[in-house]
Amino acid sequence: MKFELEPLPYAKSALAPHLTEETLSFHYDKHHNAYMTNLKNALAGKPEAEQTLEQIIKGASGPLFNNAAQVWNHDFYWKSMKPNGGGEPTGALADAIKRDFGSYAEFRGKFAEAAVKQFASGWAWLVVDGGKLAITTTSNAETPLTKGQKALITCDVWEHAYYIDYRNLRAKYLDTFLDKLVNWDFAAANFK
């Protein structure tokens, strides 16, 4: 299988002023690209090179897992945002959030709290786990794929995702992600 960096689903300037072109350039061109480069180097001449990214993640460990999972997580993160995003979901996903969290406000508070409290580097996720919606966090390169969960959205809480624009204000970044950036259409499509 040939692995290449997926293009961003929008221009690098499209999420401004919430995430600037400078942030997306550093994050995508430097960090995400480095994971892809490291993945391709780790796969050179190995049988895993013929597997899908998901197959590699589910069967690998060490540096191969870390780079494969970070490529997948970042691809998912870019799709979890959109220009003029944010607000509340609608339809079946909104109903499921109300069923499993009580209200959108309850979900929003719990998601933001989990993301802010994630110690060090990692991710906050809205997932389907055992038929119910759940909020989970993962450290470093970990991903819901290895836990049998279906990811709906993610927010990257590694500092490189927000430090240029928000410095150490992770909570402000999370508020902006939820209120201005989150792509509920992508989440709803994953929920189907």
pLDDT at position 172, please?
98
Residue 53: CB atoms within 10 A of its CB come to 16
pLDDT at position 105, please?
98
Dist. CA 23–CA 173, nearest whole Å? 12
Superfamily of segment(s) 91-191: Iron/manganese superoxide dismutase, C-terminal domain (3.55.40.20)
pLDDT at position 34, please?
98
pLDDT at position 183, please?
98
Q: Which fold has domain 21-79?
A: Helix Hairpins (1.10.287)
Q: Which candidate, 31, 26, 32, places its Cα nearest to that of 7?
A: 32
The two tokens of residue 138 are: 């993962």
Three-state secondary structure readout of the chain: CCCCCCCCCCCCCCCCCCCCHHHHHHHHHHHHHHHHHHHHHHHCCCHHHHCCHHHHHHHCCHHHHHHHHHHHHHHHHHHCECCCCCCCCCHHHHHHHHHHHCCHHHHHHHHHHHHHHCCCCEEEEEEEECCEEEEEEEECCCCHHHHCCEEEEEEECCHHHCHHHHCCCHHHHHHHHHHHHECHHHHHHHHC
pLDDT at position 1, please?
72
Interior angle at CA 154, CA 149 and CA 157, nearest 5:
125
pLDDT tens, N- to C-terminus, the chain (192 residues): 789 999 999 999 999 999 999 999 999 999 999 999 999 999 999 999 999 999 999 999 999 999 999 999 999 999 999 999 999 999 999 999 999 999 999 999 999 999 999 999 999 999 999 999 999 999 999 999 999 999 999 999 999 999 999 999 999 999 999 999 999 999 999 999
User: What separation in angstroms does the CA of 128 have from each of 140, 190, 191?
Assistant: 21, 10, 8
The structural domains of the chain, with segments of one domain joined by +, span 21-79, 91-191
